[in-house]
Amino acid sequence: MEIKELGHVVLYVSDLLKSRNFYKNILGWREIGNNGPRVGTAMFTTGRTHHELLLIEVGNEATGIPTGRRLGMYHFGLKIGTSDDELVAAIAELEAAGVAIVGLSDHTVTHSIYILDPDGNEIELYIDVQPETWRKDPSAVLVPTKPLNI
């Protein structure tokens, strides 16, 4: 077997309206339909495939994401462009929307900002540093992370 690409991410959310607003109006995902495959769901795409994100509402009583070291997902990454100017513009949009930035990192091959969705899922928003050094030298992804100053 060979994995060809990451197809989609499915997240349980406490409040579908709040999460739908975040992913649609703040992050700019295109929603597919108004209600996903069943009530209490929302599906989104960038147009690359049928859907890349599915939200499933589980309500406020569901157990939250534990803090600190734990098993499970740490974060997922979303490429938002190819230049630091696009990253700077994203930071301004996020701050205007009241979204806290929880980290900034220079990974040599990417420049990244980190945010939390309404339920505390961490999201990396990144740009590939140009030229895409990782294509010529895959080991470049192993360089230690540095603070990002933009």
Amino acid at 78: L
Third-level CATH fold of 75-147: 2,3-Dihydroxybiphenyl 1,2-Dioxygenase; domain 1 (3.10.180)
Third-level CATH fold of 9-57: 2,3-Dihydroxybiphenyl 1,2-Dioxygenase; domain 1 (3.10.180)
pLDDT over 80 at 37, yes or no? no
Contact between residue 48 and residue 54 where contact means Cβ atoms under 8 Å apart: no
- Chain centroid to CA 63: how far? 21
Domain boundaries, the chain: 9-57, 75-147
Per-residue pLDDT, 89: 98
pTM of the model: 0.93
- Chain centroid to CA 26: how far? 12
pLDDT over 90 at 16, yes or no? yes
Report pLDDT digits (tens) over 120-135: 999 999 999 987 888 8
Q: Considering only CA atoms, which of 34, 79, 81 is closest in space to residue 55?
A: 34
Q: What pLDDT band is residue 62 in, cutting at 50, 70 and 90?
A: very high
Q: What are the tokens at 137?
A: 């030298």
